[in-house]
Amino acid sequence: MSVQAAVQVPRRVVAANAGRNIRPTRAAPEIRKPLKRDAKGLPIPHVNIIVRDTHRCRLSDHYYHTVQDDLMYMTYVHEPYARKPRRELRPMYDPNDPYTKHRYNPPVGGDRWSKQPPQPSAPDDVVVLERIQLHMMMKEAIGHRTQLLGPIMAFRAISGESEGAGGRRTAEGVQIVKGKKSLSGWVRPGVPLGVKVDLKGPKMYDFLATLVEFVLPRLREFPGIVMPGPSVRLDTPSAASGVVSFGLPPLALSLFPQIEVNLDAYPKSFGLHIHFVTSAKGVGAQNRARALLSGFQVPFARA
Amino acid sequence: MTPSTPASFPRAVPALARDALSACRQHARACLHFPSRPLATLAETPASSSASTSTPQPAPADPHLPKPIINAAVILNRAPLLTRTPTMFERAYYAYHARIQRALFNPFPSDFYFKQGSLLEAKFVKEEKEREREAFGGPWVLKRKQKPESSSRADGDEEPMPRITEADRTGDVKSLDRMGERNLYLLLLGKDHTGKQTWRFPYGDLKEHELLHEAAERDLEAECGTMMDTWIVSRNPIGVYQPPLPADAAKKSLAQTHLFFYKAHILAGQVRPDGKNITDFAWLTKQEIQPRVDQNYWASIKDILSDF
């Protein structure tokens, strides 16, 4: 029986053809009616073309086949009784005032979102990685904004993102971060300071795989992302928002394979901040986010 | 890793099976009425605890009823090693979107990555042209097919490991290399709670003053040997099996057994059963487990095991 079973399932496995294109080798159909052109002279397609997944994502598979189940068991909190309802607090503004009628009217002292307990454990509410944000700031860019060209190219190479990529409105690509405040002698509003990029979907998992397999193992004297001690409060905004952040030194940039191939094309090396944004919310969310990331072999170290 | 799990074990009767959930609810009710009684999972040998807090009978605790027997079992999992092979539909979908992407992507800044006129650039351009042809087709594609097999070897590229291993070909169910795309689970051939020789997950009893997850770890080592590294995922059990009692159980005062399942991963090594109690073992997929195990046992584990 076992022999049959062993043979049965891999029948689907067509190993030799797995990565091959299966398109019939027919030429594209002839265009009879020419497409309309836009202002730049480029053809406008009849439909909105959006590029979806072009390959099976390895880490995404790993999440849905292994990590998700484990996380559900690890983060399960048994609550046999219904929760106590939240204490009703007086709203900040008079609710009978017509001015406040359809306006945001938080309870006195704010809505205290970071103090709220997490949602009850449920199989469809397991922590998931939503996006990764890369971010860097360069002080020299305040004087010479061309200094940001190197970081922009490096971020484009690392992330593979570009604005409106694949016909997606929401793909913002590499963005320039500008100053908001006016600090005398340093920064003024609207001055380009740094660069950031948001990664989502397969590109996010590709970046995570690169980071974990190529960069972190080759980083010298890297103990892991250092966690705060056990005495740290779990209801601060940073601990309850479900984001894990850490920084990479300038030396780490040259360890990314996309940068490594032509390192001398970049005039200057720089460090970057990485934020892993997860769906965990509520008290102690950062711990659940760490549990998720360690499922992708991101190393953590005790302080 | 495990966030905020208490050292003691008072809230540890989560269960995924439907009957287990109802048992849980009864358990909670019992706690509500008799808060001073120790929980069944905390400290029990068949001889110790005063009343059965987790018997499935809804009747209030009867002093003449036998004490329940608590056992811990481990569902030892070998996670998939390979990405799942896409189906024909998925491959067509991916190929279609790969072509759209190729048609629309921003121009590659080759002067940024390559020196003008370098060998590397020439090689890249040539390969890129071939990829373009493969994506958008043409009469030359069919002719080109035989070439890359020999040329890639000649370049010294490493050949990838085969997706079908020796263990798949020979049907060796003891090998951890088999079925790289699937979740495998360890099944042992040995005596179950009635003394019958059956296929089952590794399990064992609970000692006095021992926590359930510690018992699971100890029992796994006792049945499978010390020659493997494992990691028990959570301190909470993930399911429970209550074997049906025979009809004359009340007359003979037979105790109800509760078998709590824990999930674990194998990280290295292999099972080495001692040969006395455990005579055989197998690493099986969910579909292969079903015909081997008892129907009641299957009903309580089938939702825990992964379909892939």
Q: Is there a single domain that holds both residue B34 and residue B112? A: no
Whether pLDDT at B167 is above 70: yes
As a whole number of angstroms, the distance between CA B20 and CA B13 comes to: 9
| Range B289-294, long-range pairs (CB < 8 A, 24+ positions) | B289/B185, B289/B187, B289/B199, B291/A1, B292/B187, B292/B199, B293/B187, B293/B198, B293/B199, B293/B200, B294/B198
**Are both B123 and B75 inside the same structural domain?**
no
Residue B48 DSSP symbol:
S
pLDDT in tens, B17-67: 344 444 444 443 333 333 343 444 444 434 333 344 444 445 556 666 788
Residue B9 covered by a domain: no
One domain, residues B102 and B249: no
Q: Which chain A residues are Cβ-neighbours of B24 within 8 angstroms?
A: 80
Joined together, the tokens standing for residue A66 give 């292994």
Is B215 found in the same domain as B99?
A: no
Does B4 score more than 70 pLDDT?
no
In this predicted structure, what is the pLDDT of residue A8?
Answer: 44
Inspect the interface and report whether the beta carbons of A166 and B101 lie closer than 8 Å. yes
Interface size A-B, in CB pairs within 8 Å, comes to 163
The structure tokens 């052109």 sit at A37
What's the total number of domains in chain B?
Answer: 2
Rounded to whole angstroms, what are the CA distances from A217 to A225, A257, B12, B117, B164? 13, 13, 38, 35, 30
**Interchain pair B167, A6: CB under 8 A:** yes
Selecting from B171, B238, B288 the residue whose C-beta is nearest the C-beta of A73 gives B238
The whole-angstrom separation of Cα A115 and Cα A233 is 10
Same domain, B211 and B273: yes
B99, B114, B233 ranked by CB distance to A73: nearest: B233
SS3 B136: helix
Q: Nearest chain B Cα to A234, which residue?
A: B4
Cross-chain Cβ contact A69/B263 below 8 Å: yes
Where in the sequence is the domain holding B24, given as residue range(s)? 18-80+168-301
Domains of chain A by start residue, with CATH: 118-302 (3.30.1440.10)
- Angle, alpha carbons B37-B43-B46 (nearest 5°): 100
Interchain proximity A6–B24, CB inside 8 Å:
no
**In-domain check, residue B31:** yes
* Mutation for testing the B interface, residue in A76, A156, A232, A287 having most B CBs under 10 Å: A76
What's the gap in Å between the CA of B248 and the closest CA on chain A? 33
Residues B94, A56: C-beta atoms closer than 8 Å: yes
Asked if B84 and A10 touch (Cβ cutoff 8 Å), the reply is: no
B135 and B262 fall within a common domain: no
What are the pLDDT digits (tens) for A7-19?
444 444 444 444 4
How distant, in Å, are the alpha carbons of A71, A74, A138, A287 from that of B1? 10, 8, 35, 8
CA distances from B226 to A206, B189, B229, B232, B267 (A): 37, 18, 8, 15, 13
A9–B85 C-beta distance less than 8 A = no
Q: Which of B154, B177, B195 is the last residue of a domain?
A: B154
For residue A200 the two structure tokens come to 């989502």
Question: Is residue B262 in some structural domain?
Answer: yes
Q: What are phi and psi of A253, to 5 degrees?
A: -60, -35
Contact B2 A291 (CB under 8 A): yes
B138 and B187 both lie in a single domain: no
Whether A77 sits inside 8 A of B11 (CB atoms) is yes
- What is the distance in angstroms between the Cα of A111 and the nearest Cα belonging to chain B? 25
CATH number at residue B253: 3.90.79.10
Q: Is residue B308 part of a domain?
A: no
Please give the C-alpha separations between residue B156 and each of A242, B151, B153, in angstroms, as whole numbers.
46, 9, 5
Integer Cα distance of A284 and A116 in angstroms: 10
Residue B119, SS3?
A: helix
Instruction: Note whether B106 and B292 are within 8 A (CB).
Output: no
Residues 6+ apart with CB under 8 A from B29: none
Mean pLDDT throughout B107-128? 88
Complex prediction ipTM: 0.80
Identify whether B261 is part of a domain.
Answer: yes
Chain B residues closer than 8 Å to A5 by CB: 171, 285, 287-288
Residues B250 and B293 in one domain: yes
Q: Answer yes or no: is B72 within a domain.
A: yes
Mean pLDDT of A132-148: 92
**How are beta strands A225-227 and A300-302 bridged, if at all?**
parallel
pLDDT of residue A39: 92
Residue A106: is its pLDDT beyond 60?
yes
Q: In A, which residues are within 8 Å of B96 by CB distance?
A: 23
pLDDT digits (tens, 9 = 90+) for B175-207: 999 999 999 999 999 887 777 889 999 999 999
Has residue B74 been placed in a domain?
yes
Nearest to B3 among A162, A265, A284 (CB): A284
Closest Cβ opposite residue B233 in set A21, A58, A70: A70
Q: Among the three residues B111, B127, B154, which one is the final residue of a domain in this structure?
A: B154
Give a yes or no: residue B125 inside a domain: yes
B93 with B216, same domain: the answer is no
User: Residue B6: is its pLDDT beyond 50?
Assistant: no
**Do residue B65 and residue B135 come from a single domain?**
no
- What is the per-residue pLDDT for A274? 97
Please give the pLDDT value at position A109: 87
Q: Are B241 and B175 found together in one domain? A: yes
Contact B14 A78 (CB under 8 A): yes
Q: How confident is the model at residue B156 (pLDDT cuts 50, 70, 90)?
A: low
Please give, rounded to a whole number of angstroms, the shortest distance from the CA of B251 to a CA of chain A: 34
Final residue in a domain of this structure, among B112, B130, B154: B154
Question: Do B124 and B144 share a domain, yes or no?
Answer: yes
Q: Does A9 touch chain B (CB under 8 A)?
A: yes
Indicate whether B300 pLDDT > 50: yes
